[in-house]
């Protein structure tokens, strides 16, 4: 039935490898552990998996600090394990996407280790090295997402280097053609191994414009965001005229697209990005010859608003992309509090309604145009875990700002598979890298997959039904949103079918009717 490419309507299951399934009892999830659970994922009826970074890395930001883009971190296994994973996934009909981090690498990457030595080594210009101001201060007022200045000092060069995240994540200098070539070689390495696409991490934070670096301006309409991380000083600045979304980045997206297009089989490039004007940034990134789609933050950031706020969040993205599959929605991921709990809090609902709320949100996002990313555990309605003691916390961002902001451990605790097994079946180790949540045990994955009425099975049934709906599978067109203060209603429209989709936040039910 479908005339769309696979990625234009894909439901993509995001795996956070460290917390998915531990096959070798070291308390940390790994690639073999993922392979063991591919049947479970495929049983849901999703189209693809996206695996967060598993490359060599000192794990300061749990893999988003890469020290070798073409090898596997020993915690997670080996390249042979990856080959076995991809072979099994493809046998089950699942596409495999991996997470490339192009904006920065680890300070332990040999590129940076060489670059920081002197001002005249072969990699001297691979990062952003800038002289201090005359008074010794940092070159610009740019702040790091994780708090503090975006510049750190290197005594050997007597210069500052740029990092948009941790100081151990130096930004690569994309104005240097050699850097771009090195990264497109990385893309080829993984395409040659059979991957079907990339989630491109934080592409708006790629820096490539040459000095003079411009200061960020202050937001004149700053209001404290609803998410605690939005209450940090970083969010008081406008970034798109200085630090982020620099025009030069598009050389990168065009180079990556050229590589993707040189392979058969509709390779998919999905860019994670944000900006002062996210719609504009998404449009720029998805122009002809650039990325296929962008990962939209509107639903991830929806917390504390009412249903009308949710409508606005959806509409602002849809208005710009209706008729295309250039948009990926997600309610949850490894960076934000789990959606079920977040929305219950926001709407003042009771924990007993968590499963119904989760299913409603899943059906809603999957019914929108474009692709959808669901995060491991959403299919089980797992709650956000907010009682991890400080000494067990792992996320450097949370450790810095707890207890006001708990960071990202709350959504990263290990998956649970069997209620009656040690560590909920995640691992046989004495201790797991983050504690397994007691509260999750009653919703263990393999147990739930055996219960007819579980969220897992209701979602599987929904995905199966969706595949037979031309309005959802053969066109990416939808009407404007309507409904009263507690409803979201829209039509999905194809040449042969119009499907009215209604999501009721009072009864926490979804209904679909052909009209």
Q: Classify residue 332 as left (phi > 0), alpha (psi -120 to 50) or beta.
A: beta
Nearer residue to ligand BGC within complex by CB, 16 or 417: 16
CA-to-CA distance for 416 and 435, rounded, in angstroms?
11
CA-to-CA distance for 363 and 372, rounded, in angstroms?
10
For residue 134, give every residue at least 6 positions away whose Cβ sits within 8 Å of its Cβ, in sequence order, or none.
none
Minimum Å distance from CB 492 to ligand BGC?
29
Q: What is the 3-state secondary structure of 293-335?
A: EEECCCCCCCCCCCHHHHHHHHHHHHHHHCCCCCEEECCCCCC
Q: Is there binding between residue 201 and ligand BGC (CB under 6 A)?
A: yes
Minimum Å distance from CB 201 to ligand BGC?
5
> Contact with ligand BGC (CB under 6 A): which of 8, 47, 61, 379?
61
Minimum Å distance from CB 103 to ligand BGC?
7
Burial 32-45 (b: 16+ CB within 10 A, else e): bbbbbbbebbbebb
Q: Draw the binding track, 161-190, toward ligand BGC (x: CB under 6 A; -: no contact).
A: ----x-------------------------
Minimum Å distance from CB 272 to ligand BGC?
5
Nearer residue to ligand BGC within complex by CB, 355 or 395: 395
Q: How far is CA 374 from CA 45, 67, 377, 501, in A?
A: 12, 28, 9, 20
CA-to-CA distance for 206 and 245, rounded, in angstroms?
7
> Residues 77, 30: contact at Cβ < 8 Å?
yes
Nearer residue to ligand BGC within complex by CB, 157 or 334: 334
CA-to-CA distance for 433 and 427, rounded, in angstroms?
10
> Contact with ligand BGC (CB under 6 A): which of 46, 66, 202, 344?
202
- Of the candidates 353, 374, 371, the residue with the CA atom closest to the CA atom of residue 362: 374
CA-to-CA distance for 119 and 125, rounded, in angstroms?
8
Q: Which one of 22, 30, 65, 272 is the catalytic residue?
A: 272
> Contact with ligand BGC (CB under 6 A): which of 50, 55, 64, 503?
64
Rounded (to 5) percent helix, strand, coil in the chain: 35, 15, 50
- Of the candidates 467, 471, 468, the residue with the CA atom closest to the CA atom of residue 497: 471
Size of the residue set binding ligand BGC (CB under 6 A): 9
> Residues 75, 174: contact at Cβ < 8 Å?
no
Nearer residue to ligand BGC within complex by CB, 22 or 61: 61
Nearer residue to ligand BGC within complex by CB, 149 or 475: 149
Minimum Å distance from CB 20 to ligand BGC?
16
114 counts as catalytic: no
Minimum Å distance from CB 52 to ligand BGC?
7
Nearer residue to ligand BGC within complex by CB, 40 or 126: 126
Q: Is there binding between residue 256 and ligand BGC (CB under 6 A)?
A: no
Q: Which residue is nearest to ligand BGC (CB)?
A: 64
Residues 259-288 that bind ligand BGC (CB under 6 A): 272
Q: Is there binding between residue 30 and ligand BGC (CB under 6 A)?
A: no
Q: Draw the binding track, 299-338, toward ligand BGC (x: CB under 6 A; -: no contact).
A: -----------------------------------xx---
CA-to-CA distance for 177 and 189, rounded, in angstroms?
18
Minimum Å distance from CB 328 to ligand BGC?
13
Nearer residue to ligand BGC within complex by CB, 373 or 478: 373
Q: Which one of 8, 30, 201, 384 is the catalytic residue?
A: 201
Residue 375 backbone dihedrals phi, psi, to 5 degrees: -100, 140
Nearer residue to ligand BGC within complex by CB, 58 or 194: 58
272 counts as catalytic: yes
> Residues 355, 383: contact at Cβ < 8 Å?
no
For residue 367, give every residue at least 6 positions away whose Cβ sits within 8 Å of its Cβ, in sequence order, or none.
466, 472, 492, 501, 510, 512
Residue 96 backbone dihedrals phi, psi, to 5 degrees: -120, 120
Residues 333-362 that bind ligand BGC (CB under 6 A): 334-335
Minimum Å distance from CB 300 to ligand BGC?
10
Q: Which residues bind ligand BGC (CB under 6 A)?
A: 61, 64, 101, 165, 201-202, 272, 334-335
Active site residues: 201, 272
């Amino acid at each position: 039935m479908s005339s769309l490419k696979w990625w234009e309507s894909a439901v993509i299951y995001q795996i956070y490898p460290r917390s998915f399934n531990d096959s070798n009892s070291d308390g940390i999830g790994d690639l073999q552990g993922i392979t063991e659970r591919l049947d479970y994922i495929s049983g849901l009826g999703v189209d693809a998996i996206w695996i967060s970074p598993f490359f060599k890395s000192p794990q300061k930001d749990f893999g988003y600090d890469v020290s070798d883009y073409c090898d596997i971190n020993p915690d997670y296994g080996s390249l042979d394990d990856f080959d076995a994973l991809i072979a099994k996934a493809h046998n089950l009909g699942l596409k495999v996407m991996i997470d490339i981090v192009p904006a920065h690498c680890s300070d332990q990457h040999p590129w940076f280790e060489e670059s920081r030595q002197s001002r005249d080594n072969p990699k001297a210009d691979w990062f952003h090295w800038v002289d201090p101001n005359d008074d010794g201060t940092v070159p610009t007022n740019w702040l790091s997402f994780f708090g503090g200045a975006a510049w750190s000092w290197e005594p050997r060069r007597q210069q500052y280097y740029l990092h948009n995240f941790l100081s151990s994540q130096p930004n690569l200098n994309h104005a240097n053609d050699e850097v771009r070539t090195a990264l497109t070689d990385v893309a080829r390495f993984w395409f040659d191994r059979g991957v079907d696409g990339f989630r491109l991490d934080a592409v708006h934070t790629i820096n490539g414009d040459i000095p003079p670096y411009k200061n960020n301006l202050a937001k004149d309409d700053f209001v404290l965001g609803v998410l605690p991380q939005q209450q940090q000083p970083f969010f008081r600045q406008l970034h798109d005229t200085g630090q982020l979304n620099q025009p030069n980045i598009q050389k990168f997206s065009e180079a990556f697209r050229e590589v993707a297009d040189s392979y058969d089989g509709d390779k998919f490039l999905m860019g994670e990005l944000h900006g002062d004007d996210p719609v504009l940034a998404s449009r720029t990134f998805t122009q002809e010859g650039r990325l296929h789609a962008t990962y939209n933050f509107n639903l991830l950031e929806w917390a504390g608003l009412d249903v009308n706020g949710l409508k606005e969040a959806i509409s602002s993205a849809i208005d710009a992309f209706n008729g295309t599959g250039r948009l990926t929605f997600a309610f949850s991921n490894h960076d934000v509090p789990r959606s079920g709990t977040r929305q219950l809090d926001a709407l003042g609902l009771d924990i007993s309604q968590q499963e119904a709320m989760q299913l409603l949100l899943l059906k809603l996002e999957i019914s929108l145009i474009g692709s959808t990313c669901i995060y491991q555990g959403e299919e089980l309605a797992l709650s956000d875990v907010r009682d991890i003691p400080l000494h067990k916390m792992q996320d450097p961002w949370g450790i810095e700002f707890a207890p006001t902001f708990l960071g990202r451990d709350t959504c990263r605790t290990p998956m649970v598979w069997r209620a009656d097994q040690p560590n909920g079946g995640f691992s046989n180790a004495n201790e797991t890298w983050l504690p397994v949540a007691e509260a999750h045990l009653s919703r263990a994955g393999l147990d739930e997959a055996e219960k007819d009425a579980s969220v897992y099975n209701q979602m599987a049934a929904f995905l199966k039904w969706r595949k037979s709906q031309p309005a959802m599978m053969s066109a990416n067109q939808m009407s404007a949103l309507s409904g009263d203060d507690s409803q979201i209603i829209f039509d999905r429209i194809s040449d042969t079918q119009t499907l009215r989709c209604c999501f009721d936040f009072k009864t926490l039910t979804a209904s679909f009717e052909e009209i």
